Structure 1
Amino acid sequence: MVFKKSKLKFISSVVFFIILLGLLPQISLAGGKAAISPVTYSSLTRTWDDLALLYDNHFHNSSEVYEEIEYIHDSVPELVDLEVIGQTFLGKDIISLRITNEQRTYQKAKALVVAQHHGREQISIEIALRFIHYLLNNYQENSTITEFIDYQEIYVIPALNYDSLDLVINEGNHWLRKNLRPWDDDGDGFFEEDRAEDTSGDGIVSAFDVYANTNPLNPVFLYTYYEGIDNDLDGLVNEDDIGYTDLNRNYDSYWRQGEGWSPDTMSQVYPGHAPFSELETQAFRDFALNHSFGMAYSLHSGINATFFPDKVDGWTEPALYWNIVQDYTKILPPSYTEVYTGYGQENYPVAESQILAGGWDTWMYFEQDCLVPITFELYNNLSSVVPAAYTPIEDNSTHLILEFKSIYDYFNPYPQYINDIWNDVRPGFDYLLDNTPRLDIFAEVLRGRSTAGSEVELSFELTNLSPRIRTMDEIDVHQDDFWVADAFELDGNSESLLTVEVTLEQDLVNTTCMIKLGNNYTGYYHYILEEASGVSGLTIGPVLAGVFLLSTALIINRRKR
């Protein structure tokens, strides 16, 4: 066959180009489509039997609380982390327990329960311990509790005021709510040398109310003193009592500015000489500064109630708190909401005492941006303060003195009833976890290839799973730990659609890109951006490229003929 000179020249050029292509690597005309999926974690297998309290139907002292904490951690280390957040004045450890599925290592939504600001309120410790057992015993037995533990970090501080707890138990002083920092109340250079004491040996420090009795039909209250003796021989009794600061008046928010405090160091509501002057409140402050809580409980006793933070003219979040009260009426015994009886949607409760000076809930709301810090008052017994509970020990023409011995039963039930109290309030703890703001997310790629430099458009359908509490902050979006966008807050029980564009720094063929979204309240949810399986881009090798070019050239050349 004889080729024309022009055709030979053309074929030679094509062959040379094919040879040149053979020296080049394969090239890709277009990457595959990008795909997004949630990060998966290995499941946790339950290996423990149900836990039981080491000391049931019993009020714990500090040593017994520590035993319970150690037993809990040793039994279920897969779900329980311990952290010593500080010490009391007498050097006892203040411990926080974090309950969560530790195989899910990302930052999660957080809930908080702190107990026993006040020494005498022992029932708060008992309820905190039972709450922990309830969570651990129901993991992988109850789907709702399992979901809470898998997707939340639940913090429980079983006691804050261990020093006073031991004195209440060991000395029967069930009046003591303050911490045990020593103070010279009477200014004689000695500390707490003339304190209330159980001189009768019945295990309880009695109180004595003194009245002027010149008119027996209408005696006038003068003062109260407590059981004890004149230890320093100065003619006075109880004038240098034990205890210094009410920890629930020592927080740095409206300290000594609001209501509910006294400048008298002998008062049970003395707020300390400075905000956060006490080691116990410093420990909680330092702990709380490292976390963000949308809702939290502080456990107390002395009344049955659920108290919310106030501003000068009532609740800080009236519409929200009113809805929560209505929820509580459906799940808690009536006594826990009776304080709000008579109010309606149009006249939310106005605080009688206005802002609580230096209170935990005041600080949590105004300084820590906790939307719903609730003081959960677990127990009281009004029958213990009826007139029949007061015994006249002196009744003459000048004075009436009544002895009161039922203080123990006022703040705490008898031990055999502790579990009944827990069963009454347990739905309130489910409610706390259910209302912790957290997200449900459906993610998809709307467009975009998997090659470096590609712009990928992502869609996120967001649902706030908390029925009542908003997400507290905007939802952030991060690409490989770099912020790329933020959006809106979500109200409780609401949905929204978020679209975001990200630019790929590298190909997704042999690597992935991490996308996370959320905030410090909801936690962060992690997704992997990768090349979609089975949808690779077209890869062209040198032979295929040469054949394609030769075929194209011949067709063009034939058409020229």
Structure 2
Amino acid sequence: MYKKLISVTIFMLLIVSMSSFELDISAIDSSRQISTFLNSNPWGDWQHYHNYTEIVDTLVFLNTSYPNIVDVFSIGRSWQNNDIYCIRLTNESNSDSKPKVFFVGYHHAREPISAELPLYFAIEAATSFGIDETQTHMLNYSEIYIVPMLNVDAFDALLANEWQRKNVHPFDEDGDVFFDEDPPDDEDGDGYIEDLYFWDGSTYNFIRWEGIDDDNDGLLNEDWVGGVDLNRNYGFQWNATCGSGSPFPEAEDYRGPAPFSEPETQAIRDLALSHNFRYAISFHSGADVILYPWGYTYLPTSDDSLFREIAGNLSNLVGSPYAQSGVGLYTSSGLWDDWMYANRSTFALTCEIYTNASAWQYESGPDPDTWWEKGVFQFFNPDPTNIEIVIQRWLPVFTYITNRAIIEIHNIATTNVNSLKTVVGQGFSTQINVTVANEGSFTEAFNTTLYANETAIDTREVILTSGSFATITFTWNTTGFAKGNYVISANVTILLDETTILDNAFTDGWLLITIPGDINGDTYVNATDAVLLGLAFCSNKLDLAYDANADVDGNGCCNAKDAVILGVYFNEHWE
């Protein structure tokens, strides 16, 4: 039964294919090169899996070395009283409002590759600031929060049992009033914890784990270290009836005695409640897929199209498939990303960054049709020599998510310019509609200016709430303008910290200033124009027959006044 989730994951893969403190700060030397630390940094190399101490030392080092862009603080303590650290990356000299994004790794003990990835990015972002244009831009205009390792007690537990998934919350799983006293053992000393199963040709039947009867109760390996599956312990749909999220402590996907019963998930909850994260990503392994809510049901969220867009863009970057969690894998209760989306309106996704189905090794068991199986660590994690290959593949996730948030925070645009006329008589007026939109996250006040060629016609102030738009009607009096073609355009002023500015301007095309009465714009006032006016005669803006060009005086209707003007200029021509 402990192996149920892994068996389901392999099957689905075949279908799919995947208490607070701050450290002191001082001025940063942005010219410092990354290579300075190759021989002196606390993280060493990327050909081994870092333990808790190495990761903490690395975070402290970054904070001390780059105090103007790095803050390291504890967001809580684990069952074993270890600090759960968060690192915030941002250029603190820029105090303007910035979007916040969040990344978290290592929910599950047997997935240390999920801690390596966010740790690597944190180091790269800090050491590249002021050197690499992309990293500098992200830290200038956003706040990036990273919890590299959530299940902080699990590093030691994993060394003893490579199958460990949950945290180390003690439970008496066999009801003998003792806690965690009979975990699996590497009985044969080959470096693996194996499971024994019977295969009847179509069905897997678990028999037992490798090991001895540590508590001498006649049962083998029935009381593991821990624990609670942290990614089944969040407070949204915690006890939903799902394929995964067990109420039984002995299950490897045990959801815990209550929502947020664990100090680790409480720490994430409290951090999320203290910040408005626009986007968030949790990293896992054991599959190669990008997942998005809902996970507790097959039904989509109300933002399904946006989730699909984000996941699809990530998929294009990393080459991994994507799916709604409850559809692509299996339904699960108490998920991190379901809670973040439902309770914090954060667009949260899960990236399963590695799996290796060929890692499993098999040996004949003691009875016919029984087999010993091993290789779970290698199923979830690459060989240490390949850690950086996996990391490099998934690093674009950080850049995409962060830059997406930056683009959205302050973003106004001119989306349309529409002149009611294509020709206008010199000295007369025409109306031009300009549509502007606030595509950012805050209410914005800005100016919109209409241009004829390089000449500003008029400027209007606009105030728009997030996600809204407005159409402004400008009146252009052409008195004083020479005859000829004019490019009509409009733009909105660039906001402070606005980075997406290509859409601030919009060009409609040409508008001709000509002789009054030249309705068809051929530079002559003649019988052709009279016919056009006749076709539109006695019409107004609400009529299908209305022709804005035939409305020479621009009063909203085609009538005798326009005929008089046409008559005054009849037979005139200009070159």
Report the 3-state secondary structure (helix = DSSP H, G, I; strand = E; otherwise coil) of the residue aligned with 1:282: helix
Q: 1:373 aligns with which of 328, 345, 348?
A: 348
2:443 is matched with: 475
Distance 1:165 1:69 in 2: 17
1:489 and 2:474 matched: no
2:287 is matched with: 303
1:174 is matched with: 162
Distance 1:125 1:393 in 2: 35
Work out whether residues 113 and 155 of structure 1, in 8 Å CA contact, stay in contact via their aligned partners in 2: yes
Report the 3-state secondary structure (helix = DSSP H, G, I; strand = E; otherwise coil) of the residue aligned with 1:127: helix
Q: 1:421 aligns with which of 390, 394, 398?
A: 390
Q: 1:258: how far off?
A: 4.5
Report the 3-state secondary structure (helix = DSSP H, G, I; strand = E; otherwise coil) of the residue aligned with 2:59: helix
Work out whether residues 118 and 300 of structure 1, in 8 Å CA contact, stay in contact via their aligned partners in 2: yes
Distance 2:121 2:182 in 1: 39
Report the 3-state secondary structure (helix = DSSP H, G, I; strand = E; otherwise coil) of the residue aligned with 1:223: strand
State the Cα deviation string for residues 124-179 of structure 1 (Å, max 9, x = none).
1111111112212332223232121011110111100111122213x2x1211101
Distance 1:177 1:435 in 2: 33
1:153 is matched with: 143
Work out whether residues 337 and 350 of structure 2, in 8 Å CA contact, stay in contact via their aligned partners in 1: yes
Q: 1:404: how far off?
A: 1.3
Of structures 1 and 2, the one with the larger relative CO (CA 8 A, separation 6+) is 1
Q: 1:106: how far off?
A: 3.7
Work out whether residues 31 and 130 of structure 2, in 8 Å CA contact, stay in contact via their aligned partners in 1: no
Q: 1:362 aligns with which of 327, 338, 345?
A: 338
Report the 3-state secondary structure (helix = DSSP H, G, I; strand = E; otherwise coil) of the residue aligned with 1:429: helix
Work out whether residues 120 and 391 of structure 2, in 8 Å CA contact, stay in contact via their aligned partners in 1: yes
1:252 is matched with: 235
Q: 1:112 aligns with which of 83, 90, 102?
A: 102
1:83 is matched with: 73
1:264 and 2:248 matched: yes
Question: Residues 185 and 77 from structure 1, CA distance in 2 versus in 1: closer, same or farther, beyond 3 angstroms?
Answer: same
Distance 1:95 1:58 in 2: 21
Distance 1:349 1:76 in 2: 38
Distance 2:390 2:142 in 1: 26
Structural mapping, 1:2-13, within 5 Å? none
Q: 1:162 aligns with which of 152, 156, 159?
A: 152
Percent of matched pairs sharing the same residue: 32
Report the 3-state secondary structure (helix = DSSP H, G, I; strand = E; otherwise coil) of the residue aligned with 2:364: strand
2:220 is matched with: 237
Question: Residues 127 and 79 from structure 1, CA distance in 2 versus in 1: closer, same or farther, beyond 3 angstroms?
Answer: same
Aligned partner letter, 1:393: G
| Unaligned ranges ≥5, structure 2 | 1-26, 414-434, 446-461, 473-494, 500-575
1:331 and 2:317 matched: yes
Work out whether residues 101 and 277 of structure 2, in 8 Å CA contact, stay in contact via their aligned partners in 1: yes
Question: Residues 190 and 474 from structure 1, CA distance in 2 versus in 1: closer, same or farther, beyond 3 angstroms?
Answer: same
1:390 is matched with: 362
Report the 3-state secondary structure (helix = DSSP H, G, I; strand = E; otherwise coil) of the residue aligned with 1:433: helix
2:306 is matched with: 320
Distance 1:274 1:350 in 2: 22
1:103 and 2:74 matched: no
Equivalenced residues, count: 405
State the Cα deviation string for residues 219-243 of structure 1 (Å, max 9, x = none).
6533242221101211110111112
Aligned partner letter, 1:366: A
1:197 is matched with: 185
Q: 1:415: how far off?
A: 0.6
Structural mapping, 1:25-174, within 5 Å? 46-50=30-34, 51-52=37-38, 53-169=43-159, 171=160, 173-174=161-162
Work out whether residues 314 and 349 of structure 1, in 8 Å CA contact, stay in contact via their aligned partners in 2: no
Question: Residues 395 and 83 from structure 1, CA distance in 2 versus in 1: closer, same or farther, beyond 3 angstroms?
Answer: same
Distance 2:192 2:326 in 1: 37
Distance 1:68 1:358 in 2: 31
Report the 3-state secondary structure (helix = DSSP H, G, I; strand = E; otherwise coil) of the residue aligned with 1:315: coil
CA RMSD of aligned residues (A): 3.1
1:286 is matched with: 270
Question: Residues 178 and 354 from structure 1, CA distance in 2 versus in 1: closer, same or farther, beyond 3 angstroms?
Answer: closer
Aligned partner letter, 2:400: Y
Question: Residues 142 and 235 from structure 1, CA distance in 2 versus in 1: closer, same or farther, beyond 3 angstroms?
Answer: same
Distance 1:110 1:226 in 2: 44
Q: 1:376: how far off?
A: 0.7
Work out whether residues 194 and 241 of structure 1, in 8 Å CA contact, stay in contact via their aligned partners in 2: yes
TM-score by length of 2: 0.65
Q: 1:186 aligns with which of 158, 165, 174?
A: 174
* Segment drifting more, 178-187 vs 99-108: 99-108
Work out whether residues 298 and 375 of structure 1, in 8 Å CA contact, stay in contact via their aligned partners in 2: yes
Aligned partner letter, 2:291: F
Distance 1:118 1:331 in 2: 25
Distance 2:51 2:188 in 1: 23
* Segment drifting more, 129-138 vs 186-195: 129-138
1:210 is matched with: 198
Structural mapping, 1:444-463, within 5 Å? none
TM-score by length of 1: 0.67
Distance 2:412 2:204 in 1: 63
1:439 is matched with: 410
Distance 1:422 1:219 in 2: 37
Work out whether residues 395 and 401 of structure 1, in 8 Å CA contact, stay in contact via their aligned partners in 2: yes
Q: 1:107: how far off?
A: 3.6
1:351 is matched with: 327
Distance 2:471 2:178 in 1: 67
Distance 2:304 2:437 in 1: 27
Report the 3-state secondary structure (helix = DSSP H, G, I; strand = E; otherwise coil) of the residue aligned with 1:331: helix
Distance 1:382 1:158 in 2: 26
* Segment drifting more, 429-438 vs 183-192: 429-438
Q: 1:56: how far off?
A: 2.6
Report the 3-state secondary structure (helix = DSSP H, G, I; strand = E; otherwise coil) of the residue aligned with 2:153: helix
Q: 1:403: how far off?
A: 1.1
Aligned partner letter, 1:276: F
Aligned partner letter, 1:186: D
Distance 2:46 2:396 in 1: 21
Question: Residues 496 and 162 from structure 1, CA distance in 2 versus in 1: closer, same or farther, beyond 3 angstroms?
Answer: farther
Q: 1:416: how far off?
A: 0.7
Q: Which has the larger Rg? A: 1
Report the 3-state secondary structure (helix = DSSP H, G, I; strand = E; otherwise coil) of the residue aligned with 1:367: helix
Q: 1:429: how far off?
A: 1.7
Distance 1:161 1:476 in 2: 41
